[in-house]
C-alpha cells in the first residue's frame, strides 16, 4: 500500500459518520502527522471536539487530553495537581500523568477564554515542547494540539504570539446539505472513538521517521512563485484586509506543504499542496474569504516553470513585431507635402465659388499650411510662397485630416467665404513599402522562426507534464472540486503558448509577403 493510499484509508475510517467534516478531518490529520497545531473556528455543536478525538484515533495507543477552558480555569486542571508528597519535601511539583504535559494529542475548547497565566504556559509548551515542573524541565510528547473557539482573539490582548502558533486554521460550519442533515438526526449518535485496523494505524516510530523524511521534500519552483504572488497581494491589500503573516508562520506553512507532498508519495510540492495555504494565513472571519481568493488567484496565475521563459520569448517576439512593421509597412499616413526651408507644408489651391452663379469663374488663391498643424485644432494663418502670413484667412484642422479655411475678405461678399482642404495621402497607414531592406527582413524572419521553435519545445514540455500532472494533483487533503483550480493555470499556460506560436506564424507570413 502506498503512503497516499494508506492516508486516504485512515481518513475514510476516522471520518465515518462525520457528515461534511471529511475535509476538515483530513487537513487536521495532516497537521498531526507533521507536528502542526490546528485552530477550529465555529459555533458550538459543530463537532469540533469530536474531530479532535477522531484525529487521535489514527494513532496507536494515543495519550489524549481534553478540556473546556473558561476564565476560572486553573493551572491544576490543565497541568495536573500539585504533589502533596513533594510539598512536604519542600518541592513544588505537579502530578502531570493524564494531563496536558503528558498528552500526545490534546483538545482545548474555548481557548481564548482562559487566563493569561495558563495561555503563557501553553505558549512555552508549544514553542519549546517542554514543561517546567518545579525545578525540572520535562519534555512533552505533544504531537498535535487542536483548539477551538467561536471567535478569533481580540487585538491588543497579548494573544497574537499564541494564535500565530496555530498554523492550520479551519472554519467548521453547521451541516449544509439537506440529506446529510437528515442522516445525522435519523442516525445513531456518532461515536467518538473509531478502531482502526492495526496495519494502517500510525505508530510512534513511523511518526518520528516521517517527520525526518518530510524535511527532505523540496518546494517546487511553481510553489515558490505562488507564495511570492500571495505575499505581494497581501502586501498590496494590507490596508483593506490587515493580514500579516510572520516569517515563522510562512516557514511552518511551507512545512505543511512539504508534508502534504510527502504523504502523497512525492519528493516535491505542487499546485495541490499550495491550496493548503488558504487554511494558513487568514486571521479573522472577515478576511477568510478574501484570503482564499488571493490564494486561488495566485495558483491560477502560475503554470509550469521551464528553462524556456514564455515571458522572455514574448518580449523578444514583440520587439521583432515592431521592427518588422517598421521595415515593411508605413506606420502612419504619408501625405503629399512640399518642403520649404527645413519644414513641411501642404500646398492648398483655394477655390471660392460664386454664391449665385456657379458658371462664373471661381476666385483662386494658393496658400501653404504647416504640416505640424495637422493633428491640432488650433486656428492659424496660412502662408504664401514666401512664408508670409495671410491674415485674411483663418485655418483650422479638425484633428481628422481636413482643414476648414475661412476667407475674411468682407468686401468680396459675392463669393463663398469657407472651403475645406483635405491633404492628399500618398500612402495609408499599414500600406506595404516598396523600398524594403530584404536582408534585414530575412534576418528578422529567421529570428521569428527561432522563437517559434523554442515555443514549440516549451509547448511539448508542458503538454508532456500535463499528461502526468493531473494524476499527481490527487490528494486526500484536498477536495476534488478544488483541484480544478490548478488545472486552470495549466490550461491557460498551454493556450498562451499556442497563441504565441500562432503570432509567430503571422509574423513569418508578413516577412514573406
Residue 359 pLDDT level (bands cut at 50, 70, 90): low
Please report the pLDDT score of residue 513 as a whole number: 61
In a domain, 365, yes or no: yes
Residues 200-254: pLDDT tens digits? 999 999 999 999 999 999 999 999 999 999 999 999 999 999 999 999 999 999 9
pTM of the model: 0.76
Residue 345, pLDDT score: 95
CATH code assigned at 17: 3.40.50.300
Quick count: other Cβ atoms within 10 Å of Cβ 426? 12
135/160 same-domain check: yes
Residue of 289, 213, 237 lying closest to 35 (CA atoms) = 213
Do 290 and 363 sit in the same domain of this protein?
no
Of the three residues 393, 408, 427, the one that is the final residue of a domain is: 427
Which residues make Cβ contacts (< 8 Å) with residue 220, sequence separation at least 6?
268, 269, 270, 305
Are 48 and 179 members of one domain? Answer: yes
Q: Is 195 within the bounds of a domain? A: no
For position 363, what pLDDT does the model report?
Answer: 67
Whether 273 contacts 260, CB under 8 Å: yes
Last residue of a domain, one of 427, 444, 467: 427
pLDDT confidence of residue 357 = 65
Residue range 393-427, pLDDT digits in tens: 999 999 888 999 988 875 456 677 888 999 999 88
Q: What angle do CA 153, 154, 155 make, to 5 degrees?
A: 120
At residue 192, the pLDDT reads: 80
Query: Quick one: pLDDT at residue 470?
Result: 81
Grid coordinates belonging to 150: 467561536
Residue 278 has pLDDT above 70, yes or no: yes
Q: Are residues 86 and 154 in the same domain?
A: yes
Question: How much is the mean pLDDT over the chain?
Answer: 90
Listed residue (226, 317, 330, 239) closest to 273, CA to CA: 226
Mean pLDDT of the 481-503 span: 91
Is residue 16 domain-shared with residue 82, that is, in the same domain? Answer: yes
Query: Considering the domain boundaries, does residue 282 fall inside one?
Result: yes
Specify if 223 maps to a domain.
Answer: yes
Mean pLDDT of 322-342: 88
Residues 219 and 298 occupy one common structural domain: yes
CA distances from 465 to 302, 377, 459, 483, 493 (A): 14, 58, 10, 16, 12
Enter the C-alpha cell of residue 219.
Answer: 518546494
Same domain, 59 and 146: yes
333: pLDDT strictly greater than 70: yes
Give the pLDDT of residue 413.
62
Supply the pLDDT for residue 414. 62
Same domain, yes or no: 118 and 27 = yes
- Does any domain span residue 204? no
| Cell numbers at 401, concatenated | 485630416
Residue 59 domain flag: yes
Tell me whether residue 51 is in a domain: yes
Q: How confident is the model at residue 464 (pLDDT cuts 50, 70, 90)?
A: confident
**Are residues 119 and 237 part of one domain?**
no
User: Within this chain, do residues 272 and 148 fall inside the same structural domain, yes or no?
Assistant: no
E strand or H helix at 238: helix 238-241
181 and 47 within one domain: yes
Q: Is the pLDDT assigned to residue 70 strictly greater than 80?
A: yes
Q: What is the mean pLDDT of residues 22-31?
A: 95
| Boundary-marking domain end, from 359, 393, 427 | 427
> Which residue segment(s) compose the domain that 504 sits in?
310-327+435-512
Q: Please indicate, yes or no, whether residues 171 and 85 belong to a single structural domain of this protein.
A: yes
Residue 197 inside a domain? The answer is no
Domain count for the chain, please give it.
Answer: 4
Give the residue-averaged pLDDT of 150-166. 86
Whether the predicted pLDDT of 362 surpasses 70 = no
Amino acid at each position: 500500500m502506498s503512503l497516499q493510499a494508506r492516508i486516504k484509508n485512515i481518513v475514510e475510517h476516522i471520518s465515518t459518520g462525520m457528515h461534511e467534516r471529511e475535509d476538515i478531518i483530513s487537513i487536521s490529520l495532516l497537521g498531526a502527522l507533521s507536528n502542526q497545531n490546528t485552530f477550529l473556528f465555529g459555533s458550538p455543536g459543530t463537532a469540533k471536539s469530536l474531530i479532535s478525538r477522531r484525529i487521535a484515533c489514527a494513532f496507536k495507543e494515543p495519550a489524549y487530553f481534553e478540556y473546556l477552558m473558561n476564565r476560572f480555569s486553573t493551572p491544576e486542571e490543565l497541568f495536573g495537581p500539585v504533589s502533596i508528597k513533594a510539598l512536604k519535601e519542600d518541592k513544588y511539583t505537579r502530578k502531570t500523568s493524564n494531563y496536558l504535559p503528558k498528552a500526545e494529542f490534546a483538545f482545548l475548547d474555548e481557548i481564548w477564554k482562559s487566563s493569561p497565566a495558563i495561555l503563557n504556559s501553553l505558549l512555552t509548551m508549544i514553542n519549546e515542547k517542554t514543561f517546567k515542573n518545579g525545578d525540572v524541565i520535562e519534555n512533552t510528547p505533544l504531537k498535535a494540539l487542536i483548539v477551538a473557539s467561536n471567535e478569533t482573539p481580540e487585538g491588543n490582548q497579548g494573544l497574537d504570539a499564541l494564535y500565530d502558533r496555530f498554523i492550520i486554521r479551519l472554519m467548521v460550519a453547521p451541516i449544509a446539505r439537506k440529506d446529510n442533515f437528515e442522516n445525522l438526526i435519523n442516525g445513531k449518535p456518532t461515536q467518538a472513538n473509531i478502531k482502526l485496523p492495526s496495519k494502517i494505524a500510525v505508530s510512534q516510530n513511523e511518526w518520528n521517521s516521517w517527520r525526518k523524511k518530510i524535511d527532505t521534500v523540496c518546494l517546487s519552483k511553481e510553489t515558490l512563485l505562488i507564495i511570492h504572488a500571495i505575499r505581494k497581494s497581501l502586501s498590496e491589500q494590507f490596508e483593506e484586509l490587515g493580514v500579516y503573516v510572520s516569517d515563522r508562520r510562512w516557514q511552518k506553512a511551507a512545512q505543511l506543504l512539504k508534508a502534504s507532498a510527502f504523504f502523497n508519495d512525492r519528493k516535491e510540492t505542487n499546485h495541490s499542496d499550495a491550496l493548503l495555504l488558504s487554511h494558513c494565513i487568514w486571521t479573522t472571519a472577515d478576511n477568510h474569504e478574501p484570503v482564499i481568493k488571493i490564494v486561488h488567484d495566485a495558483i491560477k496565475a502560475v503554470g509550469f516553470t521551464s528553462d524556456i521563459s514564455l515571458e522572455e520569448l514574448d518580449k523578444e517576439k514583440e520587439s521583432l513585431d515592431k521592427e518588422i512593421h517598421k521595415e515593411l509597412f508605413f506606420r502612419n499616413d504619408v501625405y503629399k507635402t512640399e518642403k520649404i526651408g527645413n519644414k513641411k507644408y501642404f500646398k492648398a489651391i483655394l477655390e471660392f465659388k460664386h454664391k449665385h452663379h456657379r458658371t462664373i469663374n471661381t476666385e483662386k488663391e494658393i496658400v501653404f499650411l504647416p504640416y505640424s498643424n495637422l493633428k491640432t485644432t488650433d486656428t492659424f494663418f496660412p502662408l504664401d510662397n514666401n512664408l508670409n502670413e495671410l491674415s485674411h484667412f483663418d485655418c483650422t484642422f479638425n484633428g481628422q485630416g481636413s482643414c476648414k479655411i475661412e476667407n475674411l475678405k468682407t468686401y468680396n461678399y459675392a463669393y463663398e467665404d469657407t472651403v475645406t482642404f483635405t491633404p492628399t495621402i500618398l500612402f495609408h497607414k499599414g500600406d506595404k513599402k516598396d523600398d524594403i531592406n530584404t536582408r534585414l527582413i530575412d534576418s528578422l524572419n529567421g529570428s521569428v522562426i527561432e522563437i517559434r521553435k523554442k515555443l514549440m519545445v516549451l509547448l511539448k514540455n508542458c503538454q508532456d507534464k500535463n499528461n502526468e500532472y493531473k494524476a499527481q494533483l490527487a490528494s486526500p487533503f484536498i477536495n476534488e472540486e478544488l483541484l480544478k483550480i490548478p488545472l486552470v493555470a495549466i490550461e491557460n499556460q498551454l493556450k498562451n503558448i499556442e497563441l504565441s506560436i500562432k503570432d509567430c506564424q503571422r509574423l513569418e507570413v508578413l516577412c514573406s509577403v
